[in-house]
């Protein structure tokens, strides 16, 4: 894993979007996987601006979901699907055939898993943008996760359940999620893990200074098939 500390969020964002631009220029039909939430949002905003100004073109790209809370859908404020559509897909004017996400409301989650696994098996992942949880989780792969799994259903940790409340406008009783597994993530051709803000400083230090272990899932990216990148701003990288 190659770690790089940036002076501010803008510098981190600018470097990240240049990597997206490079990948699209090399492979216009690349497959992307973006985490949702606060940390990736500035990257998405910059990419939307570049797309509108004609600097990049996502018209042939594909997008695959990273994770979702079980029991919510696009109409639920705070669902991964809602955030990805509102923050990224809709402003990019993507077609539905470009997007393959988990349906957290499905009565047959195994079909959802097979759908995602099949797409990734056929096309792979060219670029994945990840955030890191306060306990080091990646997607919804919690500490102690099975590193050999592809997409799978997970039991949410107490910390993740506590943190996730910030995304929802009302109280939610969610205990499970569905997520890509490390068997897929570690094979992505371009992996970018980003962390910003002082609240991430301690977990960033732990990730940098720890050997790969499923007890701190983010460290597993050090064993990726291709080189992984860890971008942090000055606040998140305060201790490194």
Answer yes or no: is 238 within a domain.
no
pLDDT tier at 170 (50, 70, 90 boundaries)? confident
CA angle 36, 30, 77 (to 5 degrees): 20
The pLDDT, as a whole number, for residue 162 is: 80
Q: What is the arithmetic mean of pLDDT over 177-204?
A: 98
Answer yes or no: is 50 within a domain.
yes
The catalytic residue among 51, 67, 68, 126 is 67
CATH number for the domain that contains residue 113: 3.40.50.1360
pLDDT tier at 173 (50, 70, 90 boundaries)? confident
pLDDT tens sequence across 74-98: 998 999 999 999 999 999 999 999 9
Tokens of 37: 């939430």
* Catalytic annotation present for 67: yes
Answer yes or no: is 141 within a domain.
yes
Answer yes or no: is 219 within a domain.
yes
What domain range includes position 186?
Answer: 2-233
164 pLDDT more than 90:
no
pLDDT tens sequence across 23-49: 999 999 999 999 999 999 999 999 999
The pLDDT, as a whole number, for residue 161 is: 78
* Catalytic annotation present for 103: no
Answer yes or no: is 85 within a domain.
yes
pLDDT tens sequence across 108-124: 999 999 999 999 999 99
Answer yes or no: is 36 within a domain.
yes
Residue recorded with tokens 């997008």: 63
- Region of 226 (left: φ > 0; alpha: ψ -120 to 50; beta: rest) is beta
CA–CA distance, 129 with 81 (Å, rounded to integer)? 16
The catalytic residue among 68, 87, 112, 142 is 142
* Catalytic annotation present for 152: no
The catalytic residue among 87, 112, 126, 135 is 135
3-class SS string, 12-61 = HHHHHHHHHHHHHHHCCCCEEEECCCCCCHHHHHHHHHHHHCCCCCCCCC
Answer yes or no: is 239 within a domain.
no
* Catalytic annotation present for 38: no
User: Over the Cα atoms of the chain, what is R_g?
Assistant: 17
Number of structural domains found in the chain:
1
Contact 193, 221 (CB under 8 A): yes
pLDDT tens sequence across 115-159: 999 999 999 999 999 999 999 999 999 999 999 999 999 998 888
Answer yes or no: is 240 within a domain.
no
């Amino acid at each position: 894993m190659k770690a790089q500390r940036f002076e501010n969020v803008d510098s981190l964002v600018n470097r990240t979007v240049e990597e997206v631009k490079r990948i699209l220029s090399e492979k216009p039909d690349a497959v992307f996987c973006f985490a949702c939430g606060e940390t990736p949002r500035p990257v998405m905003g910059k990419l939307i601006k570049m797309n509108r100004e004609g600097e990049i073109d996502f018209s042939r790209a594909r997008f695959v979901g990273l994770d979702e809370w079980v029991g919510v859908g696009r109409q639920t404020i705070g669902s991964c699907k809602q955030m990805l559509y509102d923050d990224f897909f809709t402003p990019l004017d993507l077609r539905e055939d470009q997007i393959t996400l988990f349906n957290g409301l499905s009565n047959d989650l195994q079909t959802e898993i097979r759908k995602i696994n099949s797409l990734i098996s056929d096309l792979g992942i060219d670029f994945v943008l990840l955030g890191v949880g306060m306990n080091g989780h990646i997607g919804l792969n919690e500490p102690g996760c099975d590193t050999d799994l592809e997409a799978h259903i997970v039991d949410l940790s107490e910390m993740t359940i506590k943190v996730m409340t910030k995304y929802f406008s009302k109280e939610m009783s969610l205990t499970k999620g569905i997520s890509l597994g490390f068997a897929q993530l570690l094979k992505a051709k371009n992996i970018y893990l980003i962390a910003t803000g002082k609240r991430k400083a301690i977990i960033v230090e732990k990730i940098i200074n720890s050997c790969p272990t499923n007890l701190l899932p983010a460290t597993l990216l050090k064993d990726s098939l291709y080189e992984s990148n860890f971008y942090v701003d000055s606040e998140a990288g305060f201790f490194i």
